[in-house]
Every structure is written in C-alpha cells, then in structure tokens.
Amino acid sequence: MSASLDDLWVFPAKEGLIVVLLTFFFLRICVSDYRERKILNQHVFWVMVLSLCVPLLYGWDLDTILRSFYQAGIVLIFGFVLFLLRVCGAGDIKLMAAVSLGIAVHWWQLFLFSTLFLGGLIGAGMLLVRRLKGEKNIRHPGVPYALAICPAAWCGIVLTMLSTG
C-alpha cells in the first residue's frame, strides 16, 4: 500500500502556505544576519504578519491572543535592556517579539530555551573556529543570532499549529 502526498502532508492548504512562507522568510533572515549581521525590518514585518495568522486561523480566544501579546511585550522589554547592554541587536529582539505572537503559551518557554541553547552553540562554535585559526583577539562582530532564533521559532509555530489544530 503506497501513501499519497495528501496522506503525508500534515497541514491544510492555508496552514501549509504559512509554513512555507515562514520558511522562506526565516531563510532570508538567516542569510542576511550571517552575511551582514542585519535583520531587515521588512522581513520581520512579514514574519509578524504570518505569526498573527496563526491565532486567527485557529480561532484563539481573546485571553490567549492577549497572552501572546504579553509574551511579545516581555521580549521587547527585556530585549531593550539587553540591547542597551550591547548583548544583542535590535533586529534580534524585533524578530523574537514578532514570532512570539504566533507561539502558544505552552510552547513559548521551549522556544526561548531552544533559542538560548542554539545561540550558545553558535557562539561557542564561532569562538572555537577563531581559536583554531590562531586569532589572538577573540572579539568578533557578534553572533548572528537569527541562526538560533529562526529554527526555534519555526518549531514553536509549527508545534503550536499541530497542537491547536
């Protein structure tokens, strides 16, 4: 018995389109952040629009929607402090806030932990490469944190879609 493509595809058309578009924008953001250490506002805007589609498509109640805005607000407040301390860039914070709008409360902590863990791995890897190259100065232009944010956000949004659909 062979499985058809319809049997393998988990999402209906609208949700599948959101996943595909998010994947596209996340890839563009990762490439931009890796090459230029910049996350474009236009990309963050479209990620935010797509993230806001999740609550609308799944009919979240007002309380759940307000919690997602609360999550985004927490990211913006703490992120602003981290930005002032030069720990991370403004684009990273905006991206995390945008995706927080589409991640359910019960997946949000996993998203944050995954982002921190992946960011630590990327930072440690960059440091190791610089050491192996024999560079004495370990200061570098920063960690392209979108490489950590995007996979964690993609998983958080997909898990939200799967668990609420």
Task: Give per-residue pLDDT as tens, 120-150.
Answer: 999 899 888 888 888 777 666 788 999 999 9
Share of the chain above pLDDT 90, in %: 68
What mean pLDDT is reported for the chain?
A: 89
pLDDT tens digits for 68-110?
999 999 999 999 999 999 888 999 999 999 999 999 999 999 9
CB proximity list for 66: less than 8 A, separation 6 or greater: none
Strands (E), 10-139: none
pLDDT tens digits for 15-38?
888 999 999 999 999 999 999 999
State how far the Cα of 97 lies from the Cα of 116, in Å rounded to an integer.
15
Q: Tell me, what's the pLDDT at 88?
A: 87
State how far the Cα of 130 lies from the Cα of 69, in Å rounded to an integer.
39
Query: Helix 105-132 crosses helix 146-164 at what angle (to 10 degrees)?
Result: 150
In sequence order, what DSSP letters do the residues of 56-86 get, joined into one string? HHTT--HHHHHHHHHHHHHHHHHHHHHHHTT
